[in-house]
Amino acid sequence: MIRMGNIMPLNGKQGQICVNYRKMNE
Residue 16 amino acid letter = Q
Q: How many Cα atoms sit within 13 Å of 18 on the Cβ side?
A: 15
Number of domains in the chain: 1
**Cα-to-chain-centroid distance, residue 4:** 7
Q: Which residues of the chain have pLDDT under 50?
A: none
pTM for this prediction:
0.26
pLDDT of residue 4: 56
Q: Which domain holds residue 17?
A: 1-25
